[in-house]
Every structure is written in C-alpha cells, then in structure tokens.
Amino acid sequence: MNAKITRNAAKIIQQELDKEENKELKLRIMVTHKHGDHAHYAMDLDKPGEHDDVVETDKGITLILDRREPLLDGVKVDYLYFPQEGFVVTNPSKGNHGDH
C-alpha cells in the first residue's frame, strides 16, 4: 500500500507521537463511511494488527492501513490552516479529492 503525508501534517502528528503515552503507537488511517468510489476518512493512534500494512512515509511518520480496504491505498494526509484549520484526508489516486 502507498500513502503520503504532507510536511504540515507530519509536524502536527509528530508532536502527538512524541508524548510519553503515545511512544509505542502509530497513526492509523481508516475509512469511516464509503459510497461508490468516495470515502470519508478518520485518524487515530493505534498499534498494528493482523490485517494491517505498516507504511513508512518520507516525512518520518509511520502509518497503519488495513490492507483489506482498497480505498486506503494511495491515501494522502494534509493539515490545512485555511479556510478552516485541521486535518484533511483524501485519496487522489481513487478520485477522492475532499469532502463534498
């Protein structure tokens, strides 16, 4: 599986991962809802399980992706400051460029 994380997102996520209580956790990206080729994504800190792929990003953040979910392959995690501050998870490789 492939995944990408932007510099802005990596900076914010790394701050969370550096906390003592999160030292053994990785960032999990998951699909919360899907219809057709469109998905809504969520993030959490977790440990890899039986059905997970562990993906190293070029920004030093390790992601956990459930290999049984094809809409996770090619996912992109970004952190935007405008128009509303927060994380945005999309999958441009599957035609999902943002929430509707």
CATH number, residue 23: 2.60.300.12
Alpha-carbon distance 46 to 42, whole Å?
12
Would residue 40 count as lying in a domain?
Answer: yes
Per-position pLDDT tens, the chain of length 100 = 999 999 999 999 999 999 999 999 999 999 999 887 678 999 999 999 999 999 999 999 999 999 999 999 999 999 999 989 999 999 988 876 555 4
Q: Do the domain assignments include residue 27?
A: yes
**pTM given for the model:** 0.89
Cα separation, 94 vs 97, in Å, equals 9
| Burial (Cβ within 10 Å: 0-12, 13-18, ≥19) of residue 5 | buried
Domain around 19: 3-94
How many structural domains comprise the chain? 1
